[in-house]
Amino acid sequence: MEFTWIIGAEAGAGSMVTGRTLAKVFARGGYHVIGYPEYPSLIRGGHNTYQIRASDKEIHSPVKKNDVVVALNRDGIIFHREHINKGGVLIYDSEIDASSIRMPEGVSVFPVPLKQIIEQNKLDPRMANTITVGISLGLIDYPMDDFFKLLEKEFSRKSKEIVDLNVKAAKAGYDYVKGNFKGNFSIKFKPMKNDGNTIVIGGNEAFALGAVAGGVKMFAAYPMTPASSVLHYLAEKERDFNIVVKQTEDEIAAVEYAIGAAYAGVRAGTSTSGGGFSLMVESLGLSALSETPVVVFLSQRPGPSTCLPTWTEQGDLRFALHASQGEFLRVLIAPGTVDEEFYLGAEAFNFAEKYQLPVIVMSDKFLSESHFSARKFEPSKVKIERGEIASNPKALKPMERFERYKITKSGISPRTFPGTQNGMHVATSYEHREDSFSSENFENRVEMVDKRARKQKLLEKDIPLPKIYGKKDAPISIICWGSQLLPALDALPILEAKGVHANVIHFAYLYPLPKRIRALLKAAKNTIMIENNSTAQFAGMLKEFLSFRPNVLALKYDGRQFFPDEVADAVEKAKADKFRRKVMRVVDKGEYEYYNPALYSEVR
């Protein structure tokens, strides 16, 4: 029981809200759901899509082929006709002149008179997308009740009239397909049991909720795709969560706000993408030297410079590892699922405060903006650990300061917050003595560098081993980090069906890399690593820190993440070549450019 649906339209035609709503319909019906948007960096124009994949079995990633394609314009037909499964359906507005377009074989073509339906039912032309949802649900015999409830939830803030008109539009589409579709479409969906504990959520929103569960009280950010919705969501929920959310004038101010708030005693964070993170790096050094905790959520997109603002990549790993001048410890975390976005997002604040350092949580456009059905998160599972806080320091003598940077065996010094009696000190960007006074003494400099570095030994004990999905003794291991866990997991059943047995080794904690991970990697037999960048950045880190090299590298960096069939294909090729060391590069060939559909106006 699986169904994949995609809508393609010009920006502003409502494809995103339509897709998200339909995803929620299937989730309420008890199905596992993935909602996957693609769009160019244009406010109007270009080509937008939203794909929904629903299944009665656990799924993790979007796929390339669809059972139903809904095209609200001519571009939608041209761009997606080759991505329809045999036996599938292409639905499009009959106003579109499609006579010159070569239609795919083995697919039912269903032109719908949207303009006529709109006029007959006295609807707003903008409700065309709602009509197509009704058509799609009618095609698979899916009841409309949940969709009506979601329409009421979505539009009730406007007026009851708007709700009623959208319900009318959906019914009109449902009735039309029932009376006019003559093709043979075999996929039929019925709601299953649902215990009410399922949500549909994007990666950014999951991180935002994790931050709140982890005790964040101040969040400052400047909008930048694809991290913007972290700020948008927290700003919308600011009063509900009893937190302070600040949209700053730029990214430099955002991270400075967060560091200042953390110094004042609250958990604080910020979010950005590569260009904004570039502006934050000097302040990252301030966090490190002043030993003031801060969490930075970094959602990656292709670079360098502005590059492809609305597409995905894992190209910022080495940048995050070495951001800011000098040598200092930091923690890099890359959640692989929305559940990890929540729970590891909360844990990031523990690491920041316990070890008094910057923590960078690395997502990417793929995970940040896709939507997934998930079990409701459990904030009660989040444990808050604030680390070494001196609540009752010893009395100070005249001209004496609290030893904020006391040299300790662990490297972690007790800290105090402003207003703490006998806790007076300076948080400085200069090298300093134990009592926080600036110092350029050579011996003191070495002692302070070594003190901060000693935290790593204790920190590494806190970092869990990579997770292994599938049988531990599988003859093939797919190694990945961050969001590429999702297509890797969905590649496993594809491979299994072909008699290829594999597991997935997933890294969510990227740095530091404890030496005890070596044994786990050494036990892997034939290894292939998938990375969404051109230089195998994490493979390089594994070699540098753990002396491990995977047998094969599969790299993709064209702006899209891996799809499950691409991972499976790379594994099969590596197996056929007996895992001799080499690099494979994966590219989405023959695709149309969403940024400029006019280039393909003459395509037949």
DSSP conformation letters of 176-200: HHHHH--S------------S-EEE
- Between CA 509 and CA 195 the distance in angstroms is 33
Say if residue 98 is in the same domain as residue 74: yes
- Between CA 217 and CA 386 the distance in angstroms is 14
Q: What is the DSSP letter of 245?
A: E
CATH number at residue 553: 3.40.50.920
Q: From the DSSP assignment, how many helices (H) and strands (E) are in the chain?
A: 20, 21
pLDDT at 436: 96
- Tell me what the mean pLDDT of segment 479-505 comes to: 98
- Tell me what the mean pLDDT of segment 371-390 comes to: 96
Give residue for tokens 């891996």: 562
- Between CA 16 and CA 7 the distance in angstroms is 9
Mean pLDDT of the chain: 95
Within 13 A of 253's CA, how many CA atoms are on the CB side?
Answer: 8
604 pLDDT more than 80: no
- Tell me what the mean pLDDT of segment 183-190 comes to: 91
- Tell me what the mean pLDDT of segment 14-38 comes to: 93
Query: Does residue 492 lie within any of the structural domains?
Result: yes
Among the ranges given (18-27, 218-227, 284-293, 361-370), the one the predictor scored with the smallest mean pLDDT: 18-27
pLDDT at 195: 85
pLDDT > 90: percent of the chain: 89
Structure tokens at 516: 């005890």
- Between CA 67 and CA 219 the distance in angstroms is 42
Say if residue 321 is in the same domain as residue 352: yes
Among the ranges given (42-51, 294-303, 429-438, 457-466), the one the predictor scored with the smallest mean pLDDT: 42-51
- Tell me what the mean pLDDT of segment 83-91 comes to: 96
pLDDT band, residue 191 (cuts 50/70/90): very high
Per-residue CA distances from 319 to 58, 274, 316, 322, 537 (Å): 34, 9, 5, 5, 10
- Tell me what the mean pLDDT of segment 438-459 comes to: 98
213 pLDDT more than 80: yes
Say if residue 503 is in the same domain as residue 476: yes
**How many domains does the chain contain in total?**
4
3-class SS of residue 490: helix
Domain ranges, residue 580: 467-586
Highest mean pLDDT among 19-28, 459-468, 593-602: 459-468
Query: Does residue 134 lie within any of the structural domains?
Result: yes
| Residue ending a domain, choose from 401, 425, 442 | 442
193 pLDDT more than 90: no
- Tell me what the mean pLDDT of segment 108-129 comes to: 93
- Tell me what the mean pLDDT of segment 369-375 comes to: 97
- Tell me what the mean pLDDT of segment 531-551 comes to: 98
pLDDT band, residue 44 (cuts 50/70/90): confident
Say if residue 145 is in the same domain as residue 173: yes
Enter the pTM of the model.
0.96
Give every CB contact of residue 142 below 8 A, 6+ residues apart in sequence.
25, 29, 189, 190, 191
Say if residue 113 is in the same domain as residue 219: no
pLDDT band, residue 156 (cuts 50/70/90): confident
For the chain, give the longest Cα–Cα distance.
Answer: 91
- Tell me what the mean pLDDT of segment 266-270 comes to: 98
Query: Does residue 450 lie within any of the structural domains?
Result: no
157 pLDDT more than 90: no
86 pLDDT more than 80: yes
- Tell me what the mean pLDDT of segment 414-421 comes to: 94
* DSSP-assigned states of every residue in 275-330: HHHHHHHHHHHHHHHHT--EEEEEEE-S-SSSS-TTS-----HHHHHH-SSS----
Say if residue 275 is in the same domain as residue 175: no
Q: In what order do the strands lie in the sheet with 526-531?
A: 467-469, 502-507, 476-481, 526-531, 552-556, 582-586
Give residue for tokens 């597409």: 311
